[in-house]
Amino acid sequence: MNLSVRGKLDRVFTAATGLSVVLLTLVLVAILGPMVYRGSSAVFFQGTVEFRKMQRNLFGRGDEQLLHAEVAETEEFRRQVYDMIDGFKKGVDVEAMSEQAREIHRQFGQELRDKNLPADQYTKLRELTRQIRDKLDSAFHSQDIDEIQRMVAEVLKNADNPQLKDTSAEKLFAIARQFLQAARQIDLSKHHEYAAALREVEGILFHSETLPGLLGPRPGEPAAPLVMLRYGATRWDQAQALLDRFLWVQEWVEEKPGHPLVMKRRVRAESFPPSLRPLFAYVEQNAGKMLRPQRTVYWQFLIDDNVNSHYFGGIGPEILGTMLITVIGMLFVIPLGIISAAYLVECSSDGWTMRIIRMGINTLAGVPSIVFGLFGLAFFVLFLFPLLGFEPKPCILAASMTLAVLTLPVMIRASEEAIRAVPPSYKEGSLALGASRFHTFLAVTFPAALPGILTGVILSLSRIAGETAPILFTGAVSLGAVPHSVFAPTRTLSYGSYDMAVGDRLAMMVPHNQYGMVVALMMLILILNAAAILLRSRVFKKLRGQ
Amino acid sequence: MSREKKEDMQTLALTSDIRRSNIRTTIPTIDRKERTPKPAGDVCECAIIRSENFSLYYGSKVGVENITMDIYPCSVTAIIGPSGCGKSTFLRSINRMNDLIPHIRTEGKLLVDGHDIYDKRTNLVNLCQQVGMVFQKPNPFPKSIFDNVAYGPSLQGVRNKGELQNAVEQSLRAAALWDEVKDDLKKSALALSGGQQQRLCIARALATKPRVLLMDEPCSALDPIATGRIEDLMGQLQSTYTIVIVTHSMQQAARVSERAAFFCLGELIEYDRTSKIFENPSKKETEDYVTGRFG
Amino acid sequence: MNDANLTLTLAPAAEAPRPLALTPAQDLRGYLGAHLGRALLFFITFTSVLAVLLILVFVVVRSVGFLSQSSLTEFIASQSWRPTAEEPVFGALAIIAGSLYVSFAALVFAVPLGILAAVFLSDIISWKVRNVVKPLVEILAAIPSVAYGFFAVVVLAPWMQNQFGFSTGTNALNAALILAIMALPTIISVSEDSISALGRELREASYSCGATRLETIVRAVIPAAHSGIIAAAVLGMMRAIGETMVVWMASGNAPQIPHPWWDLAQSVRTLTATIAGEMGETPEASLHRGALFAMGVLLLLMTFGMNVISEYFLTRAKKASGRT
C-alpha cells in the first residue's frame, strides 16, 4: 500500500477513536444537561401569587398580611376578567339563564305563599309569572332576533304591573333586558358553540373538572375537593403555557385525505363575538399583574411531602426513604465487605475454598438486579420474616437487606483493592516489631487502606441509592405514609422517578417535579461518585509519594 | 507539585544531609582496629544465632539449603553474595518473616538463644521483639514520627505517656535522629528524607529493645551520604547489638563487618572474618566473587 | 549528642530477654485464637457464596411448582404469553427472544464504539488526558438505571416518535440505544485493561517493523488482546440482559418477535421487564408467579453461563499479557 494512503488511514483511525470519546461525552451531556436544567426548575423558578397562597395554606409558610395585600391587589385586576365573562355569559349561556328564570319563578311562588294572598289572586300571579318565564325560555332558545325582540317586549309589558313591583319577579325583567342587549350583538345561530367555547375558556382561566386553571377558582366559589384545583398557576412558566392555551386553539387537521394529521394554531378570540374579544387582549396584557411572578427558591422541595400525586409539594419522604434504605443497607454491607476483603487478602491461599469464594463473589456481581428482587421477596419477605415472627410484608428492612446482598461484591472488590494497595513493607514492618497479624491489620493496614475502603463505601452507597428493580417487590411503594419503622414500606427517589416517568398523565403536567425527582436522585449519586473519584485520586497521589 | 520545585526540595534535603554529616564527622567513631575479634570457625558457646543444616524451600524451589553457621553477639556479620543467592531469604528466616509467603517449608534447625525458632511452640511475638529488622526500602508507617517509634513499646503494653516518650527519645537518640526531629515528632514520618526514614526505621526497631538487628540491604535505596550515616550508626550500635546485614556492596561489607558469609545459589560457601574473606579467601568461588570475576 | 549519652541510652541487656518458647497456656490460646478467628472470618467471607446459593435455591424452589405443573416445552417454544386468560398460556419464547434481541442490538452499537474508546484511552492520549476522560466513563456507569429509563421514556421516546415517525417511541431501538450507553463503561474499562496490559514491547516491535499506529493496533494489539475484548463484550451483554428498569420503561413491552427481524422500531418485551411488570399483580403461589420465577431461573442460568465464559476469556487474557 502507498505510504500516503497508509498515513491518511492512520489519521482517520485516530480521529475515529477520538470521535468515539467525543460522542460519549456528547451523550453524557445530552442526557445530563437538559435533565439537570429542567430538574433544577423544581427549586429555582418564578413563583406566582398562587404559589404563595398554596404555600401559606398547605405548608403554613409566608407572611399572611403581605399575602392578603397581594391577593387584594391581584383581585382588582382579576375582577375585570370576571365581569367580562359574566357579562358575556348572560347573552350566551341559555341553559344557565333558563335555569335562573325557573329559580326566580320558584322563589316568587314562595314569596307569594308567605304573603298569604287569597287563593284566586295567588293563582293569577303564579300564572302570570309562569307565562313570563315560558316566554323568556322560548326567547332564550330562539335564534331569530326579531322573534326575541317581540317576545322580550311582551315580557317587559308586565314590568309595570304593580303587583310584581319589589318582588323577586323583577329580576326576570332584568334578565330579559340584559339578554336582549346581548342578543343584539351576537350571532344567535352560534349560541351553543359560544357556550361550549366559553366553558373551555372558563376551564383554562379558573379550573375544569380535573385540571387547574390560570387564575384559580373565582372568589366565593365552594372549595374544590381536589387540592390542586383550588389554586391557579403557581409557576410563571406554567402560567405562560396556560396563557398560550388561552390565546390559541390547537387543532389536528387532516389537510389532504390520507395524509398524517397536521397541527394548526388559530387565535382563540376569533371563536367569540367581538363583545368578548377584549378579554383576550386584557388577560394577555395583565397576566403579570394578576399573578405577580417573583423569583423563588423553593428549597423546601427537598423536604416537603407532595400533594395530589406530586402536583404540589416536594420529595421529602422520597429522600428520607432513600436515605433510610441506604443507611440500613450500609450497616450490613460495610462490616461484611471489609471483613471479607481482609480475609481474601490476609488469609489468601490458592486452595479450593478461596476459588469458590472468588467465584461466588463474581457470580453475585453478575446476578441481574431483578433476580435480587425475586430473591428478596422469596427469601427475606416470604421465608425469613415469618421464621423470625415478623409480618411477611415488603418493608424497608427487606429492601435494605436485598440491596446489601446486591452491593456486597462492589464493597468487597473496592476494599480488597484498597487493602492490597497498601505496600507490603508496612505489614512486614509491623510484623517484624512483634505485632500479631490481627493487630497489624487493625493498626497499620486498615488505616492505610481506609481512604480506598471509603471509596468503596461511597460507591456502594451510590449503588444502593440508585437501584430500583430489587426494591420493586421488597419495600418500595409509590404512595403511602412516611415510614415510622423499618417494618413499613417506603417511597424512594428511584421508584418515585420510575413512577413519575410512566405513571399517570398528571405527572406530565408538572415536568418540573417529574424532572426534579430524577435529578435529585442523579445529583445524590453523582456527588457521591465525584467524592469517590476525588478521594481515590488523592490516595493514588499519596501512594505515589507526592 | 511542579518538577522544579521537587528538585529544589531534593537538593535542599541533600545539602541539609551534607551539613549534618559534616557535624557528624566530628564525633569519634569506634576504631575498628581496636576491636578484638572473636575466634572464627570454632563453635563458640556464646553464639546468639546458630543455624544447623537449615534449609528453606518455596514449594519445590530452593531458597537456602544446608546452612550451618554461628552468629556472635555484639558484632556486625555481613552476608554477601550475588543476587538470588538466598542471602535475604536466610536473613528473613531468622525472624520468620518468610512465613508471609505461602507454601514455604523448612528443614534443619535455626536456634536463637538456644531455642529452635521453627519449633511449633515458638513465641513469635517475643522472637520478633528480640530480633529486630530493618528493611531494604525505608518503610515507616504512614503515621507521625512519634507513633512510628512508639509502635513497638505500645505493643508490649507500655501505655504510660511519659514512659513512651522516654522510649521514643532514647531510640531516636540511639538512631542518631533525635536532634533532627525532636521539634516535630508529630510530623508525618513520610515527610522525612530517605536517609532519615531509614534511621527512623532503625529507631523503631531499637524501641522494642531487641538483641539482634537484622538489616536487609538497608542502604540500597539511599544516597551515599545517607549510607555513610547509617554505616556510622552501625559502628556505634554494634557495641550493644548483634547486627546481621545483607548487602550487595562488598565495600560496605568490608567497611562495617567483622565477619562475612558468602552465599551462592542458596548455599553457604564460606564464612570467616571479613579481612580473611576479602584478602585471603579459602574457596575459589569466593575469590572469584570478591575480585569481581562474577556476580 | 555525645558518647556518654549514647552508652546511657543503649542498655537493652539490662532487661531479661523474654523466653522464646511458648508456655502451654500461651500455645493453646494462640492456637484457639488463630483458628477460631480464622474460622469466624471465613464464615463471614462465605456470606457471598451463601448468598449465591440462597438466590439459586429460593428462586428455583419458587419456580418448581410451575415447572412441574406446566409444560417446559410450552414455556420455551410457544410465543403466546397469556398468563391471566381463562386458560392461561405461558409461552415465553417471544419474551426470551426479546431479551436476546435488545441485548444483541445494544452490543452492535456498543462494542465498536467501546473498542475505539478503549484504544483511544490506552494508545492515543497521554496519561493526563486519560485521567480526565476516565471519570467521564465512570459517571456514565454511575447514573442509576432508572434515570436512564426516565430519559428514554420522557425525552428520547417522544423525540424519536416526532423525528422518525415511528408508531411508538418506546421500542427496541430506544431500549437498545440506552442499553448500549449503559454497557459502554463495562466494555471500555475491561477492553482497555486488556489492551494496555499488553505492554510497550508488542507495540515497539510492530512500530519498528514500519507499521503505522493503525496497523499496529489492528494487526498486533487487538489480535493479542482479543480474549479481553471478547470478555468485555460478554460482560457488556451480561449487563444488558440483566438490566430491568430501562427495558421495562423503554422497550414498549409487547410480547412479540419483531417481523421483519431487523425492524428495531417495533416494541418488544424482555424477561426482566416481564418479571418487574407482572410480579406485583400475581397472587401468591399462583402458576403465574411460578412462571415469573421460572423466568428468573432462566436469567440466572444465562448470567451464570456468561459469567463462566467471561471468566474463561479473562483468565486467557491475563495469561496472554503475561501477568498472573
Specify the pLDDT at position A540.
64
Specify the pLDDT at position A191.
72
In a domain, B205, yes or no: yes
A443 and B151 within 8 Å at the Cβ level: the answer is yes
- Distance between A35 CA and the closest CA of chain C, angstroms: 8
- Distance between C319 CA and the closest CA of chain B, angstroms: 21
Pick from A350, A425, A435: which is nearest to B135 by CB? A425
Report whether pLDDT(A108) > 70.
yes
C13 and B240 within 8 Å at the Cβ level: the answer is yes
C1 and B178 within 8 Å at the Cβ level: the answer is yes
- Provide CB contacts within 8 A for A412, sequence distance 6+: A337, A340, A341, A344, A361, C48
Using CB atoms, which chains have 3+ pairs under 8 A with C?
A, B
Residues of A in contact with B117 (CB under 8 A): none
pLDDT interval class at B22 (50, 70, 90): very low
In a domain, B295, yes or no: no
pLDDT interval class at C129 (50, 70, 90): confident
Pick from A348, A431, A436: which is nearest to B97 by CB? A431
User: Is B58 an 8 Å CB contact of chain A?
Assistant: no
User: Is B130 an 8 Å CB contact of chain C?
Assistant: yes
Closest-CA residue of C relative to A523 is: C143
Specify the pLDDT at position B262.
92
Specify the pLDDT at position C25.
82
Specify the pLDDT at position A253.
80
A374 and C292 within 8 Å at the Cβ level: the answer is yes
A25 and C119 within 8 Å at the Cβ level: the answer is no
Mean pLDDT of C130-137: 85
Specify the pLDDT at position B42.
43
Mean pLDDT of A375-383: 92
Pick from C44, C142, C299: which is nearest to A526 by CB? C142
A434 and B155 within 8 Å at the Cβ level: the answer is yes
Interface with A, mutate which of B9, B136, B155, B204 (most A CBs under 10 A): B155
In degrees and rounded to multiples of 5, residue B63 shows phi and psi of -90, -70
- Distance between C59 CA and the closest CA of chain A, angstroms: 6
Higher-pLDDT residue of C285, B82: B82
pLDDT tens for B219-247 read 888 888 888 888 988 888 888 889 999 99
pLDDT interval class at C5 (50, 70, 90): very low
Question: What's the per-residue H, E or C state across chain C?
Answer: CCHHHHHHHCCHHHCCCCCCECCHHHHHHHHHHHHHHHHHHHHHHCHHHHHHHHHHHHHHHHHHHHHHHCCHHHHHHCCCEECCCCCCEECCHHHHHHHHHHHHHHHHHHHHHHHHHHHHHHHHCCHHHHHHHHHHHHHHHHCCHHHHHHHHHHHHHHHHHHHHCCCCCCCHHHHHHHHHHHHHHHHHHHHHHHHHCCCHHHHHHHHHCCCCHHHHHHHHHHHHCHHHHHHHHHHHHHHHHHCCHHHHHHCECCCCCCCCCCCCCCCECCHHHHHHHHHHHCCCCCHHHHHHHHHHHHHHHHHHHHHHHHHHHHHHHHHHCCCC
* Residue B213's CATH number: 3.40.50.300
Report whether pLDDT(B5) > 50.
no
- Distance between C12 CA and the closest CA of chain B, angstroms: 5
pLDDT tens for A92-106 read 777 777 888 888 888
Higher-pLDDT residue of B120, A406: A406
- Distance between A270 CA and the closest CA of chain C, angstroms: 30
B122 and C26 within 8 Å at the Cβ level: the answer is no
Domain edges within chain A: 3-40, 47-58+190-300, 70-188, 313-543
Closest-CA residue of C relative to A517 is: C147
C280 and A16 within 8 Å at the Cβ level: the answer is no
* Residue whose grid cell is 391581584: A74
- Provide CB contacts within 8 A for C35, sequence distance 6+: none
Contact status, residue B219 vs residue B247, Cβ threshold 8 Å: yes
Across A76-80, C56-60, C261-265, the highest mean pLDDT is recorded for C56-60
pLDDT interval class at B102 (50, 70, 90): confident
B28 and C13 within 8 Å at the Cβ level: the answer is no
A431 and B155 within 8 Å at the Cβ level: the answer is no
Report whether pLDDT(C148) > 80.
yes
- Distance between B239 CA and the closest CA of chain C, angstroms: 9
Closest-CA residue of C relative to A16 is: C116
Specify the pLDDT at position C252.
87
Query: Which domain does B92 fall in, by range?
Result: 3-32+40-290
User: Is B23 an 8 Å CB contact of chain A?
Assistant: no
Distance CA A178, CA A183 (A): 8
Specify the pLDDT at position A172.
80
Domains parsed from chain C with CATH numbers: 69-320 (1.10.3720.10)
Residues of C in contact with A27 (CB under 8 A): 140, 181
Pick from C2, C17, C27: which is nearest to B113 by CB? C17
Pick from B123, B173, B209: which is nearest to C20 by CB? B123
Residues of A in contact with B151 (CB under 8 A): 430, 433, 435, 443
Mean pLDDT of C242-250: 91
- Provide CB contacts within 8 A for C127, sequence distance 6+: none
Report whether pLDDT(C231) > 90.
yes
Q: Which helix (H) or strand (E) holds B116?
A: strand B115-116
Contact status, residue B155 vs residue A435, Cβ threshold 8 Å: yes
Contact status, residue A187 vs residue A271, Cβ threshold 8 Å: no
Mean pLDDT of C235-245: 92
Specify the pLDDT at position A260.
73
Report whether pLDDT(A544) > 70.
no
Distance CA C183, CA C237 (A): 7
- Name the amino acid, one letter, at C277: G
pLDDT interval class at C37 (50, 70, 90): confident
Q: Which CATH superfamily is domain A313-543 in?
A: MetI-like (1.10.3720.10)
Report whether pLDDT(C240) > 90.
yes
Higher-pLDDT residue of B287, C15: B287
Higher-pLDDT residue of A136, C94: C94
Report whether pLDDT(B29) > 60.
no
pLDDT interval class at C303 (50, 70, 90): very high
Specify the pLDDT at position A350.
66
Q: How big is the B-C interface in CB pairs under 8 Å? A: 60
Residues of B in contact with A430 (CB under 8 A): 141, 151
Pick from C124, C146, C213: which is nearest to A468 by CB? C146
User: Is A545 an 8 Å CB contact of chain B?
Assistant: yes
Using CB atoms, which chains have 3+ pairs under 8 A with A?
B, C
C279 and A377 within 8 Å at the Cβ level: the answer is yes
Q: Which of A49, A45, A101 is nearest to A70 (CA)?
A: A49
B126 and A434 within 8 Å at the Cβ level: the answer is yes
Distance CA C324, CA C319 (A): 6
A476 DSSP 8-state letter: B
Three-class secondary structure of residue A235 per DSSP: strand
Q: Which of residues 17-36 of C touch B (CB under 8 A)?
A: 17-22, 26-27
Report whether pLDDT(C10) > 60.
no
Report whether pLDDT(C275) > 50.
yes
User: Is C323 an 8 Å CB contact of chain B?
Assistant: no
User: Is A349 an 8 Å CB contact of chain B?
Assistant: yes
How many distinct structural domains can be found in chain B?
1
